[in-house]
Each structure stands twice: as C-alpha cells, then as structure tokens.
Structure 1
Amino acid sequence: MRYDAEPAYVLHARPWRETSLLLELLTEHHGRLGLVARGVQGPKKHVLRAALQPLQHIRFDGVQRGELAQLRAAEAIDAAPRLSGDAGLAAFYVSELTLRLAPRQDPHSGLYELFGQVRERLREDAPLSWTLRRFERDLLDALGFGFDLSRDGDGGAIDPAARYRLDPEHGPRRVLSERIDAAGRSQTATGRALLALAGDEMPGADDLQGLRRALRTVLAHYLGGRGLKSWELMGELGRIAAPPVPGQASPGTGADDKVS
C-alpha cells in the first residue's frame, strides 16, 4: 500500500541503528501507523529530521511493507508548538496516551482532528488540567469507550451533590457517602464535576482533581494494567516538588495535577 501526501501528526520518534528513526504517526485517513525513516540522521538531513519530531504536523509519502511502512518523503505542514515545562510534559502525555490506546491501521472518526485541537490548545497556553480532561473525555469517545457523563450507569440523572466513581464498562456509579473512606474518595468525582465535563464547562480546581483521578481509573483499565511513562514522571516530579507557600498557590496547580 502506498501513502501519498498523507497528513499526519508525529506521536513518537526514536533512533534506530545508526542513521534511521522508528516513527509512530497519527494519520488523517489510516489511523496510527508505524514507519521506518532510513538515513535521516546524517548531517545533510537536518531539515527532514526536524520535520519528524514529536508533535510535528507533516505530510508524508510512504510504502507499507509488513507491520512497518517505509518513509519515502516528509515535509512540515506548519511549525510545531514550542513547549517547555508543564506544557511540554502535557504534550508528551497526550502523545503517549494516543499511541497506547489507538490501534495501528485502524482509523477512528475524529481522532486526527482531536489531536490537532489539543495541540493548538497547548500552543495557546490554555489551562493544562482542563485541556487534558477534555482530551481524555474526547479520546475515549473517539475510540468507542466513552459514556454519558450526565447520566449514571442505570440511566438516572447525575446528582451534583453526590460522588461517583467511573466504571469503565457501565459509566458513573454513585457512591454512598457513608462508604467513602480516604482511599475511596481519591477514586471518585463529584456529580457537579461530571456535569461540568459533560457540558464542556471548566469546573473549579478541586473538581478538576477529582476528574483527573476518576478518569485515570478508566484509562488504566483500557491500558491493560501497564501505566504510562508520563504518569511515572509526573509522580516523581510531584514527590520532589517544593510544597506550595500558603496564600501563593491555589489547589490543583502542582505539576501532577496539571499534567497527569
């Protein structure tokens, strides 16, 4: 199979042998593809190599041979966002999550557009935690794993004052207040937070933290028990970060809350 001028986003690139790269691309028409880019590490290939960096939007030619396609040519469509710090880690997270959940050569409607949207939100310095929660919600929907966040698993309306856990197979499940201990609370979100996410309205910092924890349970289910490197990195950063100074930081502004 040939790919001619196929638009794609670079999800991952790593060196292979002395002069080549192994790539993972999210394409517009063919889903996620693995490719070999041969001979791109030489001194005269810096333009092509720059077009194959993660988060870059490209147009490429290639030939599918077996599991991996062979890259023939590539050019950048635009300039990739210049991200650093928490935004750079967020970009790593969305790329890794897409790579892990999207199967190869299995296009899903809207996934390519979704990645482009989150890329631009990162470029525009939108609130990171909210950007990532929206992306997680929409990624699950695009892959067929999503559910109605305005209704519980039995079809009843979500109670804003109640707490819910997210069952990957059945959606929101109300948790009785007398059964919520510290561990259980860490896996639940308020009904108010779920309704805000369903309505695409950013909730407060505490509710964003609850959404992060609740959605991570769903994502971990579909990741098959093997977590993400970005989660591990955010955990390490969270442990070594200096504690916030009272009065100078609001809840939910730590690196782990923003990015993971």
Structure 2
Amino acid sequence: MRILGEHAFVLHARAWRETSLLVEVLCAEHGRLGLVARGVRGPKRQALRAALQPMQHIRFDAVLRGELAHLASAEALDAAPRLQGEAMLSGFYASELVLRLAPRQDPQPELYAAYDLLRARLGEGEPLAWTLRRFERDLLDAIGVGLDYGHEGDGDPVDPAARYRLDPGHGPVRVRGERGGERDRSATGRALLGLAADIAPPADELGGLRRVLREVLEAHLGGRPLASWQLLGDLGRMARPRPQGGSSS
C-alpha cells in the first residue's frame, strides 16, 4: 500500500545496518508506524536525515509492506523545538510512552493531537510537571483506558479535601488512614479535580498526581519500566544539594 503526503511526528530513530535508519513515527492517519529509511546516513542525504530527528514534524511518502513501511521521501514541516535538560528528557519520555502504549497501524487522531499540543507546550517553556500530567491523561484517553478523575469508583464525587489512589480499572479510590505509606502514594482530590477540569493544581500537589498516574501507567506497561523514568530519576538525584561531607548516592 502506498502512503502519500502523510503528516507525522518522529518518535525515535536508530541506526540500522551501515547507512540506514529504523524510524518510529506517529501519523495523522495511520497511527504509530515503523519506517525503514535506506541510505539516509550517507553524506548526500543530510537534509533527509535532519528531517528524521526526534520530535520533528514531517510529511512523507512510503510503501507499506507488512509491519514496516519503506520510506521514499520525507520533508520537515517546521523546526523541531530546541529542548535542553529536563525539557528534552520530558520529550523523550512522552515519545517513549507513545512507543510502548500505542498499537501499530491503529489510527489515533486524539493522540496525534495530544502529542502536537505537548510539543508546542514544551517548546514554549510551559511548566513541565503539569504539561506531562496533561499528556499522560490525554494519552490514556486516546488509547481507550482513560479514567474519570472527578468521581470515585462507586460514582461518588471526588472530595477535594480527601486523598486518593488511582485504580487502573476503576478510577479514584479514597485513602483512609496513613498506614503503609498510603498517603505518600496518593494525590489530593483537589489535584484530581484539577486534572479533570484541565486546571493546574497547586505546585506542591503535582508530585502526588505524578505518583498516582505512574501507577496507572505501570499497570498498562505490564511491569516493564520506561528507560526515561530512570533518566529522569537520575537527573533529579543529581540536582539535589549534596550534604556536607557526604555523597548524593
């Protein structure tokens, strides 16, 4: 099958054989797709190679054969955001989530739109924690496993003053008491209501939101952690002040 003039975001590219690349993209019409880009690592294919950088927005032609499509041509539609530090790792994290959770060749227009919005927010320097929580919410919705963050599993409205964990199949579950570190693995009802309404909660409540959403994502990842979680954790440890006379590790 020929694919002509398809719009896509580049999620990942890696070397394949001596002069080629294996590229993963998120397409507007075909969902997540693997591309074989032959000969692009040669000295005369710099423009094409530049168009296949992560987070680049492209238009491409290809021929789909089974699991992979063979790239015929590609061009950049704009300049990919120039990200550094935590913003760059956040983009890597979002792309890795799509790679792991979005099925191949399954149209995902809502996910394509969410990735487009994430890319713009990262490029504009919006707060990273809230940007990522919104993307995680939108990704889960797009792949059909989203939750109702405004109501408990039994249908009662979420109490902004209570604390909750997220059950991947049933949504918010109220935490009663603080045994076994339950409070440390929970989010405030106010933060969940903010996520439901797309209104940023107070900054000190975003950490709880991150933890409960990670539990949901881990369940859908089948227990296989993301490489970007390790990288983000390492970066956070490096950024902490070292105690006098001691080590951060």
* Cα deviation digits, residues 80-101 of structure 1 (max 9, x gap): 1011111111110111111111
1:182 Cα deviation from its structure 2 partner: 5.7
Give me the whole-angstrom Cα distance separating, in 2, the residues matched to 1:186 and 1:38: 49
- SS of the aligned residue for 2:10 comes to strand
Where do 1:91-106 residues align within 5 Å? 91-106=91-106
Is 1:156 aligned with 2:156?
A: yes
1:112 aligned onto 2:112: yes
Q: Deviations over 1:18-77 (max 9, x none)?
A: 100000000000100011100000111110000000000000000111211100000001
Question: Which string of whole-angstrom CA distances, capped at 9 and with x for unpartnered residues, describes residues 231-250 of structure 1?
Answer: 011122222323299xxxxx
TM-score after normalising by structure 2: 0.95
Whether contact under 8 Å (1:187, 1:217) holds in the other structure is: no
Distance 1:226 1:152, change over 3 A: same
- Counterpart AA for 2:60: F
Give the count of matched residue pairs: 243
Percent of aligned positions with the same letter in both sequences? 65
Kindly state the Cα deviation for residue 201 of structure 1 after the two structures are TM-superposed. 0.8
Correspondent of 2:215 among 213, 217, 239? 217
- CA-based RMSD: 1.3
Letter in 2 for 1:14: R
Q: What is the correspondence of 1:77-156 to structure 2 with a 5 Å cutoff?
A: 77-156=77-156
Return 5+ residue gaps in structure 1 as ranges.
246-260
SS of the residue 1:119 aligns to: helix
Secondary structure (helix, strand or coil) at the match of 1:220 reads helix
Q: How far does residue 185 in structure 1 lie from its aligned partner after superposition?
A: 1.9
Of residues 182, 199, 202, the one that matches 1:201 is: 199
Q: Which runs of 4+ in 1 moved over 4 A?
A: none
Matched to 1:208, the amino acid is: L
The one-letter code sitting in structure 2 at the alignment partner of 1:83 is L
- Give the letter for the 2:155 counterpart: G
Is the contact made by 2:86 and 2:232 (CA closer than 8 Å) also made in structure 1?
no
SS at match of 1:133: helix
What is the rounded CA distance, in whole Å, between the counterparts of 1:244 and 1:137 in structure 2? 34
Q: What do residues 164-206 of structure 1 show as CA deviations (whole Å, max 9, x unaligned)?
A: 1100000101111x2x236222221110110111111111122
* TM superposition score normalised by structure 1: 0.91
Q: Which amino acid aligns with 1:119?
A: R
CA distance in 2, matches of 1:230, 1:181: 30
Residue aligning to 1:192 = 190
Shift of 1:215: 0.2
What secondary structure is seen at the aligned counterpart in 2 of 1:186?
Answer: helix
Whole-angstrom CA distance in 1 between matches of 2:179 and 2:214: 19
CA distance in 2, matches of 1:108, 1:11: 14
C-alpha contact 2:6 2:27 (8 A) present in aligned 1: yes
Deviation per CA, 1:110-146, whole angstroms, max 9, x where unpaired?
1111110000000100000000000001111111111
Q: Corresponding residue for 2:74?
A: 74
Structure 2 residue ranges without an equivalent (≥5): 244-249
Give how far 1:109 is off.
3.4
SS at match of 1:141: helix
**Secondary structure of the structure 1 residue equivalent to 2:136:** helix
Q: Relative to 1, partners in 2 of residues 1:244 and 1:90: Cα closer, same or farther, differing over 3 Å?
A: farther
